[in-house]
Structure 1
Amino acid sequence: MPTLHEPKLIAGNANLPLAETIARRMSLHRGVDQGLVDARVERFNDGEIFVEVFENVRGEDMFIIQPTSNPANDNLMELLIIADALRRSSAQRITAVIPYFGYARQDRRTKARTPISAKLVANMLTGAGIERILTMDLHAAQIQGFFDMPVDNLYASPIFALDVKKQFRDQMDDLMVVSPDVGGVARARELAKRINAPLSIVDKRREKAGEIAEMTVIGDVKGKICLIVDDICDTAGTLCKAAQVLMDNGAKEVHSYITHGVMSGPAVERVTNSVMKSLVLSDTIQPTAEIEKAANIRIVPTAPIFTQAILNIWNGTSVSSLFEDKTLTPIYESLYHMD
């Protein structure tokens, strides 16, 4: 049944380039101008966030594009306040497109007297009037259960698989997918299945938070081109140490595929000076100028999959279909066509 309301995109300040690219792709798909809704998101002198929407959104299907990346608290508040402004302006439905879901690492109590901040954020998003979440590679899949609303969790592994098949098309038999810890095995296995490669694990033991005492490679990586797969790269300490351990165990080369490039503090310098030949990040978090200048860091776009997912939500069609190569490959064809 045809929908009577129009999809409209609005963005905070967290990742405007991604939002603008999604808007351009939607314009191409729909054959109509699909610019971002005209609005201003500003701060008072004391840091308070103020939002004003200049277009009529009554009865419209609204999509707010806003990762909650650094500064996480400011970007989260922008998202909440935009949602409140839209709800009070009688938008028909509000979907939060959160490419990177901040606070996802606090998804359980690891010790006494600690919060479950991911659940708190879920409650805040619900209270702001958001009715659906679209995100990518949640740090913990069970966070979907924190919401009493639909949560569409896209995966970067199909995009990474296309990139791997393009970049390593003559070396596919030499590839080994590596999980940098036991907790990420499911994510790494998903990519390994897509490219038909074996799987290895780097087991790490921590003496205390942020400090790794020992790393052990489970699996034979000798002579292999190792692809480390993870969802978040923050300070890059674990990643660079894992790459060194793999090389020490006889790996031929080490490359990394990370969904969310948080890249705090010395991360870029560490990656630049590491044994890794390349680090591939998605653009769920807007890359800094330092990241873009780094010789061994590449960015792969997520706008094609987010655009299609938004259109599928608006049309009431399947989002999970985007996990299949036959569906995803055509929308990335211009980037990953095989010679």
Structure 2
Amino acid sequence: MNRPLKILTGTANRAIVEEAAQYLGVPISNMLVTKFSDGEVRVQINESIRGADVYVFQSLSSPANQHIMELLLIIDALKRSSAGRITAVIPYFAYARQDRQDKPRTPVSARLLADLITVAGANRVVTIDLHSPQIQGFFDIPVDHLSALPVLYEYIKKNLILENPVVVSPDAGGVERARLLANRLGCGIAIIYKRRPEPNKAEVLDVVGEIDGKEAIIIDDLIDTAGTMVAAANMLINRGAKRVLACATHGVLSGPAVERLTNSPIEQVIITNTIPIGDKLFDKLRIVSVAPLLGEAIKRIHEEESVSSLFI
């Protein structure tokens, strides 16, 4: 491909962008993202990107609405500056839990966000572990939906000694994710049955599968307030699990999450760097990087090669 490769970033997660840019051997393009005195976002690209293959990094983490607005304005600026192709690289996609009308008179917020990104001018989206895979269908442009599972598996393989593991899905929706990790580890799976009476609150009711005497690895797409994860860990210990580990792609860690995880029976909490952790570090936390995964995906997209082998 003759188009030059350019990388731009919003303010959400610059560390992951720097690592991905280093992997690709390209500099981060010069761009200004600030605010006017009234809080409006200001974007100015300070170099020519005409005809370039541009990748805009932005995790839509807290404050999500500001980061969403930054992304939309950057994409619009690129479109108006005659970029050749614009790819939104979104390690963490906000509003993904609002992917359907679960109650009357509620929005499908994930679909609205997909429409906004498309209308702004993005030609493609790269993201990691959407809360609901069907969100890919909300876009009218190609979506490369990557999985962080290989990254988490490599950490487990290199850093943990497991004699009798079992992979645990904290709900029925995560069974496929648990099965894929269990296949790599060569072990069985268990499923926790829960119900959610209201947002950010879960009631763990039962577990299906053999737990007694095993090393339980709970795998989920994200940890928000950690209520589900800690309740699951407590149930597994009560059912005879020898030790409990927790894995997730996105460490949202809002509200009481850090305190809950610190005081829980969970031995290690393993997450990726799709969301910057900031001051939420604690002793049990282990962070692995998905920057090489994103860098390899960008390299293959730019060179028109297959990305499918990176999906799992």
Q: Deviations over 1:96-147 (max 9, x none)?
A: 0000010111111101101001110011001110000000001111111111
Letter in 2 for 1:239: M
Letter in 2 for 1:179: S
Letter in 1 for 2:207: V
Matches within 5 A, 1:283-302: 283-291=273-281, 294-302=282-290
Pick one of 240, 246, 250 that aligns with 2:240.
Answer: 250
| Most deviating of 35-44 and 154-163 | 154-163
Contact 2:192–2:204 (CA under 8 A) maintained in structure 1:
no
Matches within 5 A, 1:4-43: 4-27=2-25, 34-43=26-35
In structure 2, the residue matched to 1:131 is 123
Q: Deviations over 1:230-270 (max 9, x none)?
A: 00111011111110110010000000110000110111111
Distance 1:207 1:61 in 2: 46
User: Is 1:218 aligned to residue 216 of structure 2?
Assistant: no
> How much has 1:25 moved relative to structure 2?
1.2
Distance 2:7 2:204 in 1: 47
Structure 2 unaligned spans of 5+: none
In structure 1, the residue matched to 2:144 is 152
> How much has 1:213 moved relative to structure 2?
3.6
In structure 2, the residue matched to 1:280 is 270
Identity rate of aligned residues, in percent? 47
Distance 1:260 1:208 in 2: 21
Q: Tell me the secondary structure at the aligned position of residue 124 of structure 1.
A: helix
CA RMSD of aligned residues (A): 1.1
TM-score, structure 2 length as denominator? 0.97
In structure 2, the residue matched to 1:69 is 61
TM-score, structure 1 length as denominator? 0.90
Pick one of 138, 163, 176 that aligns with 2:155.
Answer: 163
User: Is 1:200 aligned to residue 198 of structure 2?
Assistant: no
In structure 2, the residue matched to 1:240 is 230
> How much has 1:210 moved relative to structure 2?
3.4
Contact 2:204–2:232 (CA under 8 A) maintained in structure 1:
no
Letter in 2 for 1:199: I
Distance 1:74 1:91 in 2: 24
Q: Deviations over 1:266-296 (max 9, x none)?
A: 11111111110000010000112222xx110
User: Is 1:177 aligned to residue 175 of structure 2?
Assistant: no
In structure 2, the residue matched to 1:259 is 249
> How much has 1:214 moved relative to structure 2?
4.0
| Most deviating of 202-211 and 260-269 | 202-211
Distance 2:193 2:243 in 1: 19
Distance 2:204 2:165 in 1: 25
Letter in 2 for 1:227: I
Structure 1 unaligned spans of 5+: 28-33, 325-339
Contact 2:204–2:231 (CA under 8 A) maintained in structure 1:
no
> How much has 1:323 moved relative to structure 2?
4.1
User: Is 1:55 aligned to residue 47 of structure 2?
Assistant: yes
Distance 1:207 1:311 in 2: 44
Pick one of 307, 311, 334 that aligns with 2:295.
Answer: 307
> How much has 1:153 moved relative to structure 2?
0.4
Contact 1:178–1:199 (CA under 8 A) maintained in structure 2:
yes
Q: Tell me the secondary structure at the aligned position of residue 277 of structure 1.
A: strand
Letter in 2 for 1:63: Y
Task: Give the number of the structure whose residues are more often helix, by fraction.
Answer: 1
Distance 1:290 1:243 in 2: 20
Pick one of 71, 78, 90 that aligns with 2:82.
Answer: 90
> How much has 1:312 moved relative to structure 2?
0.4
In structure 2, the residue matched to 1:337 is none
